[in-house]
Amino acid sequence: MENLALLFKEKNLKLTPQRYAIYKYLLSTKAHPSAEMIFEKIIVDYPTMSLATVYKTVKTLSEIGLVQELNVGEDNFRFDANVSKHPHIVCLSCGRVDDIENVDFSFLNKEAEKYTDYTIKDHQLYFYGFCSECK
């Protein structure tokens, strides 16, 4: 967490308050917010925050592996500071996106490789259904 400064230094990146706030917020939430949602949250404490800065920051954080981009099939991207490989589940009614935790589907890569001539590096798995509130 405080090797964050180190990581940024290595990459010649500045650890600005804005970047720190965005990353900290992403670490604190499991809501998988979009850029817009991050912006709405952060602007409360950083009134000068611009949406462009949010976009630039999440891109930067993605590039250095601190957040992952999700695309659950909406018209926008969502972001997750939990960069471990894990499936996500989307509520078809309210739209919330949750993690599915404590399960390892990494065997799927090897399994799928039997049925294709690709070399498989990674996968994304999205489930769709109804959350406990909506069902």
Which residue type is seen at 27? L
Contact present, 32 and 70 (Cβ < 8 Å): yes
Contact present, 89 and 127 (Cβ < 8 Å): yes
CB atoms inside a 10 Å sphere around CB 66:
18
Cα separations (Å) of 29 from 20, 36, 39, 130? 14, 15, 14, 21
Taking the complex as a whole, the smallest distance from the CB of residue 95 to DNA amounts, in Å, to: 12
Q: Applying CB under 8 A, does 94 fall inside the site for a copy of itself?
A: no
Nearer CB in complex with a copy of itself: 24/86: 86
CB atoms inside a 10 Å sphere around CB 84:
8
Q: Applying CB under 8 A, does 115 fall inside the site for a copy of itself?
A: yes
Nearer CB in complex with a copy of itself: 82/109: 109
Q: Applying CB under 7 A, does 7 fall inside the site for DNA?
A: no
| Per-residue mark of binding to DNA, 21-60 (x: CB under 7 A) | -------------xxx---------x-xxxxxx-xxx-xx
Q: Applying CB under 8 A, does 9 fall inside the site for a copy of itself?
A: no
Q: Applying CB under 7 A, does 76 fall inside the site for DNA?
A: yes
Taking the complex as a whole, the smallest distance from the CB of residue 63 to DNA amounts, in Å, to: 10
